[in-house]
Amino acid sequence: MNKKKIKTSTAEDSLLTVEDIDQLLESFRKTERNRYLDQSKKVITQVNLKEIRQKIEQATKIMKEIFSFVGAGGTIPISEIKEEIIPSIKQAAEIPHIYYLFYELQSKDEYTYRHTISVGIIATIIGKWLGMPEESLHELSLAATLHDIGKSRISKEILNKPGKLTTEEYNEMKQHSIIGYDLLRDIPSISETIPLVALQHHEREDGKGYPLGLVGDQIHRHSKIVAIADVFHAMSSSRVYHQAKPFYEVIQDMHNSAFGKLDPNILLIFLYKMMDNLAGKTVLLSDGSLGKIMMIHSFDPLRSLVKVNDDLIDLRYNNRLQIVRVVDELN
């Protein structure tokens, strides 16, 4: 071992061995390397997000025009949707994780149009998570983007009403799934799954959905995926109070309220994938302490393994403790 000492400062006691310096240099290089990697990751994300943001805006604008055209009695311009909207949706679904797009997709104004684009993107991401082949994925993207097209024939007063709908208004709103089915059924160039998803995306596993009250296997798999994307986006947008909900809160809401209503297998994969992106992030726990998410359990994704100081806490076995929120969500 080389014990040669090198004077590094004027103070007599600040002498370092060559070994010390090697170690310091190695740790310095590592930090630099990580900083570089972090920076390059950030640049890629920022560039992609900027371009994707513009494409989502553009797609939303086109969707608004299509809604007003169809609302006035026009036929759904399917080629325009395939050429002008679907490529943007597919590009947005390429991002590393939905988390990056979460705040981007939250609807502020003109909920209906942005909602259809968002559901298109989220459903496409879910389809990828499920390992869906390219052809089905393409069908799913189109079906999800058109799931609410029937709303183009629902009155604007009902669509944009900020408060709760009356029973009569709600019954009229519910017609959008049948209207969408009718509008899409007559288009010859699309698969029959597209109108089916418009018809079924409000059906629920327990038979309490509409319009037909179908259960479980009676509902097409694409409709089940679109239902999850639809509920997730509606929850994250929280229209009535116009408040942007934090990511983890929406995941928690889905976990607490959607089992029994949405397909449990797809929902579990959805929640797992959503949570998986939070690994390594700092969270506030219900006892006020801060912890870091270390691992997500595939069968109980919200009750993850958390490190608090030097202790590892498995939330599956500690029911009194919960994650409250992610600290500095976007960092």
Residues at the site binding Fe ion, with contacts judged by CB under 5 A: 148
The enclosing H or E element of 327 equals none
CB-nearer residue toward Fe ion: 86 or 159? 159
Q: Using an 8 Å Cβ cutoff, are 116 and 63 in contact?
A: yes
Smallest distance from the beta carbon of 210 to Fe ion, in angstroms? 10
User: Nearer to Fe ion by C-beta: 139 or 148?
Assistant: 148
| Vertex 296: Cα angle to 291 and 300 (nearest 5) | 110
Task: Name beta bridge partners: 262.
Answer: 259
96 or 213: whose CB is closer to Fe ion? Answer: 213
Q: How far is the CB of 202 from Fe ion (least distance, A)?
A: 6
CB closer to Fe ion, 148 vs 263: 148
What's the closest the beta carbon of residue 289 comes to Fe ion, in angstroms?
Answer: 41
Which amino acid is it at 121? I
Shortest distance (Å) from residue 273 CB to Fe ion: 23
The nearer residue to Fe ion, 227 or 315, going by C-beta atoms, is: 227
- State the nearest-atom distance from the C-beta of 29 to Fe ion, in Å: 54
| Nearest distance in Å: CB 272, Fe ion | 25
The residue with tokens 């959905």 is: 209
Tell me the longest C-alpha to C-alpha distance in the chain. Answer: 89
φ and ψ of 324, to 5 deg = -90, -50
Query: Within its chain, how far is the Cα of 306 from the centroid?
Result: 23
Q: Give exposure, 148-178, as e/b (b: 16+ Cβ within 10 Å).
A: bbbbbbbeeebbeeeeeeeeebeeebeebbe
Query: Residue 101 and residue 284: Cα distance in Å, rounded?
Result: 23
* Residue showing the smallest CB distance to Fe ion in the complex: 148
Nearer to Fe ion among residue 176 and residue 255 (C-beta) = 176
Six token digits for residue 116: 């259809």
Reading the block at residue 308, the tokens are: 């608090």
Name which of 168, 137, 139, 141 is nearest 155 in CA terms. Answer: 168
Nearest approach in angstroms of CB 234 to Fe ion is 9
For Fe ion, the closer of residues 173 and 268 by Cβ is: 173
